[in-house]
Structure 1
């Protein structure tokens, strides 16, 4: 079983909350829907009765999630304005937009290249801007705009300055957008999970092992040490928060950066 698969299988076997809202008749577009948190969001929203559309750059992973959830799959590049517009054209009417697509890279600050900087801002910040802007333009009445940021949007981490800068930008963007739309039936919020039990974190563990010589257990411990609960966050916890933001009683939740991190921030 690949690294992290045992942990993820255990999380997947847990039942979802009985307070999941009924989203029948709602359309949801999830970027970065082919893996990690995006794939779990697709499952969760499909279980809640929503019409789910997932988007990403890799057709294979999208098709796998679509087959498992009944979602429609669209290939798109969230860093490209025309591609984002075409993505919404193909998705059809949606009331919930989740800007989840992202990527991570690491390097000491002094050795971080301009190419790395631009790449991190393009997918993690510009991609969120283009997705939420087009989503807002397409809304007709009630809506929910959700960005998936990170605890890196609320604090600093060493060796990932461009990623941290981009995620801080996502939180600021979301808060600013929330002020503009506050008088209508649309809200905008950011979800800020800590290290997630996903493929991206597996790659971070591999990088720690490669650069420090630690074994996998020690490398994973270095990541979970930032969480007071000493664990990775399950993607299902992000999905539960997103579903809550789309259910009754969440109308007053607007412009928030919701940490899902065991008390880290």
Structure 2
């Protein structure tokens, strides 16, 4: 994967940046010259990620412990990150979790939990950084949604509803800030080789009494290319959307799923 260093001078904040897609995004932005702050709830995971990224790249990388569902923690993390690396000009909302159950077994609390992390989490972080971006008169916000935001799946009603809401939020904020130099877009991965995919595998194996290989085949079959998406592929799409030249694309949906969403 080639980089061009166009993100020198930019400060990127990646939530859920300690592993999986978030880690891959942090690495891609760091390689391209950005200063990167990753955040999450687990200090040990973040510390390990910072150590690995520091070994791989000479750029500025640091972490902040923050639960995106807690607005006070988000404000505090943004302020600390700002003091360290300067105003935040790139925000990647990647923090998330999943829930799988039949609709009749999904409780109101399950819906509230999914909404809290995927929607309110993005609200908290966007509100924490938009002041920076307005002062800079430029910025990129990318919300990591899911193909579940653009097509239905069985047994993930709470997760799917939250991702649909996040997509609607993305479009509304994009329109509101379209004249300010700030872009807001959604990247929608299909099944990706991450912890969440691992959870989906476990659910399939348990619900249908399948072997691991059988469950993997079902997830891979959802993608017309017959494979799981790799975190680095999602990261490359994000990196492209963060380039200074990307001024027109806003309020858009970018599926990373091998054409899965078409069907």
Question: Is the TM-score greater than 0.5?
Answer: yes
TM-score, L = length of structure 2: 0.92
1:255 to 233, 239, 251: 251
- Following superposition, the deviation at residue 34 of structure 1 comes to 1.0
Report the Cα distance in structure 1 between the residues aligned to 2:242 and 2:125, rounded to whole angstroms. 18
- Is 1:85 equivalent to 2:75 in the alignment? yes
The match for 1:27 is: 11
Q: For residue 138 of structure 1, report the CA deviation from its aligned partner.
A: 2.7
Aligned partner (choices 55, 67, 73) of residue 39 of structure 2: 55
1:20–1:244 contact (8 Å) kept in structure 2: no
Gaps of 5+ in 2: 55-60
Deviation at 1:21, TM superposition (A): 4.8
Aligned to 2:202: 206
Tell me the equivalent position of 2:223.
Answer: 227
Measure the CA separation in 2 of the matches of 1:213 and 1:83.
Answer: 41
Q: Distance in 2 between matches of 1:75 and 1:230?
A: 37
Q: Structure 1, unaligned stretches of length 5 or more? A: 1-15
Report the counterpart of residue 72 of structure 1 in structure 2: 62
RMSD of aligned residue pairs (Cα, Å): 1.1
For 1:38, the equivalent position in structure 2 comes to: 22
1:104-158 Cα offsets, whole Å, 9 max, x none, are 0111000111221111111111111111122212322211011000001101111
Counterpart-to-counterpart distance in 1, 2:126 and 2:33: 23
Shift in Å, 1:78: 0.3
Query: 2:131 aligns to what?
Result: 137
Q: Name 1:8's counterpart in structure 2.
A: none
Contact 2:224 2:258 in 1 (8 A): yes
Q: Pick which of 207-216 and 154-163 moved more.
A: 207-216
Report if aligned partners of 2:5, 2:31 keep a CA contact under 8 Å in 1.
Answer: no
What displacement does 1:249 show? Answer: 3.4
In 1, are the aligned partners of 2:10 and 2:89 still within 8 Å (CA)?
A: yes
State the secondary structure of the residue aligned to 1:28.
strand
Kindly report structure 1 stretches of 4+ aligned residues shifted beyond 4 Å: none
